[in-house]
Amino acid sequence: MNIVVLMKQTFDTEAKIQLDGEGKISRQGVNKIINPYDEYAVEEAIRIKEAKGGEVTLVSMGDDGVQESLRQALAMGADKAVLVNDPALEGADHYVAAKVLAKVLEGMSYDLILSGWVAIDDQSSQVPARLAEVLGLPQANVVTKLEVLDGKIVCHREGDGSIEVLELPLPAVVTAQKGLNEPRYPALKGIMQAKKKELKKLSLADLGLEAEAGKTKIVGYQLPEARQAGKVVEGEPADTVKQLIGFLTEEAKVI
């Protein structure tokens, strides 16, 4: 069974976000990791391969630094990787990303496409759904349990106090949620093998595409205002109630 995993490199979840002089997010001194939800997708793909055979291919977009995360996923047990690296894609929106990824997959043979349900940097959760639409494939999102059967998959996802079960024909697009599995740590043997595994780099020209403007444009970033210190109300109950009402009406303006 051939599985494609869409993987994104993101800032470390503990990274402190800062802006540079141009109002853009500074990348200096920030550790980068595999998007945590994509890591569940990588692990699930490897488990399916171990149970049913086949091949796991990673597909990502970004600069040369993304290779480090791809090598980590290869060390976990993925078989090969494709990185679309082109200066024209810097700042590409989700529309462009889905279009480029669809072009990469156009020449590949696959039974299942896995991805994390959301990237922790932009929190958009758009690319997998857009890609499924471009490819004309069924999709199941925020999946916490996945069963692979002959020619179809059964996906479990948590609802409001219930479990929703979806049955999809293959090929299909599935996005992973926390709880689907517990990602493994790469073993030393896997790390050594990952250095020899195929990691192909492609440009837009290699894909037969030209630079294209996205549908959205980021005009700037700004950090939220610093949280103000809380206030302690002391005194007799009647006095504290008056003070509290004053804070809520005059300062917080919530009543």
Taking only the tens place, the pLDDT of each residue in 214-240 is: 888 877 777 778 777 777 888 888 888
Q: Angle of helix 94-106 relative to helix 127-135, nearest 10 degrees?
A: 50
DSSP state of 151: T
Helix, strand or coil for residue 61?
strand
22: confidence class by pLDDT, cuts 50, 70, 90: low
Chain centroid to Cα 113, Å, comes to 13
Q: Which residues pair with 175 in a beta bridge?
A: 115
pLDDT tens track for 150-195: 999 999 999 888 999 999 999 999 999 999 999 999 999 999 999 9
48: confidence class by pLDDT, cuts 50, 70, 90: very high
Written as six digits, the tokens of 176 are 């992973």
Measured between alpha carbons, how far is 251 from 233 in angstroms, rounded to an integer?
14
Whether residue 118 contacts residue 176, with contact meaning beta carbons closer than 8 Å, is answered with: no
pLDDT given for residue 62 in this prediction? 93
Q: Closest by alpha carbon to 5, among 76, 95, 92, 90?
A: 76
Q: What is the mean pLDDT of residues 244-255?
A: 83
Mean pLDDT, the chain, as a whole number? 91
Whether residue 141 contacts residue 117, with contact meaning beta carbons closer than 8 Å, is answered with: yes
pLDDT given for residue 20 in this prediction? 74
DSSP state of 4: E
Measured between alpha carbons, how far is 70 from 80 in angstroms, rounded to an integer?
9
Q: What percent of the chain has pLDDT over 90?
A: 69
Q: What is the mean pLDDT of residues 34-56?
A: 97
Q: What is the mean pLDDT of residues 118-127?
A: 91
Rg (CA), the chain: 23
Written as six digits, the tokens of 71 are 């090598």
